[in-house]
Structure 1
């Protein structure tokens, strides 16, 4: 489990901001022979920030700078990564050409904001780099004709800990960021990853996606339905973030997969299933259980949802799965999306499946 630091959490910088800073430093050195260290850049919302250089080198017609990414207090796998920019003079009139070097992935599937075959440098970082280099060139009265290679040594290994392989980004990391700032433990970053997963699934024409609360429920659902990796969405606790985006960008079928506790919260109307932001209402769970013949007071007195399930058994699992399905389906109503809910137990066994046309247990 990731330990959240005590006290105020420190913000950090995105890979896009680090790549821009490294590119700006290398460009300044290439044009003047002098290094700005630290190097200042302007973030998309107008903040001026300075980045120290970890490494710098220059030769005939080229310059290279390295900025070590500081993600602040966010548990980002790219914290400490060496974001590297190598600049060379380009052909007259070519403009700024961005290339991906070692550790930067290549897009191989449609649906992402970068075309297939391009390095996985997202639009805002591309814009940041282009603006920074154009400004430096204009200040010296020269055309902004540069070849820019962004690389992240060790990035291929780091990318295996991200969504990139599932999204069809091969060989390394993505250079990301819309504001330049990493906000610690940001829900927005996770939800954005869910959205990109949906975009890729839609672009691939997939008829069925699965949003899972964790790795075990994902594995069971994937095996049960026989789906490819890029049909699997790491929903985590953000059921609402996934379902609301699907309502705007529908696929024919979605399955929500998880354990009894989180699905109980969904059934009771919660769209954020994290324990810090929603709790099981045991009085409501007792009311549901009583319709199945259970002792209402015994269920209301339970400490955990799994304890309640152990007292009532499969009928309660199915009732909650159906209620969760109905809640999820309400979010996507009228969009032509069939909604299923698949429930597993702690051992990873499928205990209930409520589909769009009824319910069945396994």
Structure 2
């Protein structure tokens, strides 16, 4: 099976797929005395990858298998980490139970698809592991009653680079995956984290959330509004993800905050603000300046500007509030995506130092 996508980039495997493979190999060894290496699993969309075993240990009532996660060509923080499953025989009729091992977090806030106190092993990986345990039990004569403890090497340290602490997942990483496949640069885990962040904020009863493009805009918003950490959404470039999810799951107030360049793109209608997928239109900025009564000289200067910040500074020097105009355009785009959902939007535009240079 080819692991290359249309862009020639290698697909990888999620932590959930690795945990499923480790569970399958460990339970097989418990029932047969032999570790299948490589171990093959069945994923959605008719994928059947095989995983080499990096660690294996067999006891009388438990077996442990470790698998090195290969995220393909995606810049995933867990690429190269060892995902392991310790499978212990359970009491008859107990079914498949899950426990967070070292490096896997525990849910401490409501709003996630798991109950408070549960190990942060998401529903789809749980289902995949349960199905594979059942298949191994049927093939080799087991009961299917097991305790599965999932661990991730250095998971607690890696989790600090993710949304988990803000979402109330403490002690380590989440075991993620819906298809088992990591599509390079799809940023699906980031978008999923945005959605979970909104869920957590709603469950906490917050009436005001903020989607921020980076840490500087986040600090500015906190200073302006005093929002708690779990009301701050690390939006990054994915403005569309925030707006589309809030359209279905509204919060009374949304602040969108970011630099002049990214919000100029939102003002023009772009919902993905990454530099590789959308560009600042200086012609559009020049039109804003012209519409606000800017001089012909200023309009020409903005049209030829090197950066959005350059255009802003030229406008500031001429006494024209380009930041406010961009904020108003970004707000119009946001309201257009929200399609009348009961969400009041305000926009805060900042410069690189975090100074507010525009609001709407």
Q: Does the TM-score normalized on the shorter chain lie above 0.5? A: yes
Residue in 2 aligned with 1:351? 357
Indicate the larger mover: 167-176 or 93-102.
93-102
CA deviations over 1:65-93 (Å, ceiling 9, x no partner): 10011111111111111111111111011
1:126 match: 126
Matches within 5 A, 1:21-170: 21-170=21-170
Aligned residues of 1:292 and 1:315 also touching (Cα < 8 A): no
Matched residue, 2:4: none
Listed one character per residue, the Cα deviations across residues 267-286 of structure 1 (whole Å, up to 9, x for unaligned) are: 11111111222222222211
Secondary structure of the equivalent of 1:133?
helix
The CA deviation string for residues 123-151 of structure 1, in whole angstroms up to 9 with x for no partner, is: 11000100101101011233111111111
Q: Map residues 168-207 of structure 1 onto 2, 5 A cutoff.
A: 168-207=168-207
Which SS does the other structure have where 2:326 is aligned? helix
Q: 1:296 aligns with which of 271, 295, 299?
A: 299
CA distance in 2, matches of 1:301, 1:353: 24
Q: CA deviation at 1:223?
A: 2.1
User: Could you state the TM-score of these two structures normalised by the residue count of structure 1?
Assistant: 0.93
Deviations 1:150-193 (A, max 9, x none): 11132111100100001000000000000101111113332222
Residues 344 and 352, structure 1, Cα contact 8 Å, conserved in 2: yes
Deviation at 1:226, TM superposition (A): 0.6
Aligned to 1:13: 13
3-state SS of 1:210 partner: strand
In structure 1, the residue matched to 2:331 is 325
In the TM superposition, residue 297 of structure 1 has moved relative to its aligned partner by 1.8
Matched position secondary structure for 1:92: coil
Give the 3-state SS of the residue equivalent to 2:144 in structure 1. coil
1:340 aligned to 2:341? no
The SS at the match of 1:224 is helix
Match of 1:306 among 305, 309, 317: 309
Q: TM-score if structure 2 supplies the norm length?
A: 0.94
Preserved contact between residue 240 and residue 271 of structure 2 (Cα < 8 Å): yes
Give the superposition deviation at 1:293.
2.3
2: CA distance between counterparts of 1:65 and 1:271? 42
* Unmatched tracts of structure 2, length 5 or more: 1-6
Deviations 1:8-41 (A, max 9, x none): 2111100000001111110010001011011111
Number of aligned pairs?
Answer: 348
Provide structure 1 residue ranges, at least 5 long, that are not aligned to the other structure: 1-6, 355-362
- Structure 1 Cα separation of the partners of residues 107 and 34 of structure 2: 35
Contact 2:40–2:49 (8 Å) recurs in 1: yes
For 1:212, the equivalent position in structure 2 comes to 212
State whether residues 37 and 53 of structure 2, in contact with CA within 8 Å, keep that contact through their aligned partners in structure 1.
yes
The alignment partner of 1:47 has SS state of coil
TM-fit CA distance, 1:311 = 0.7
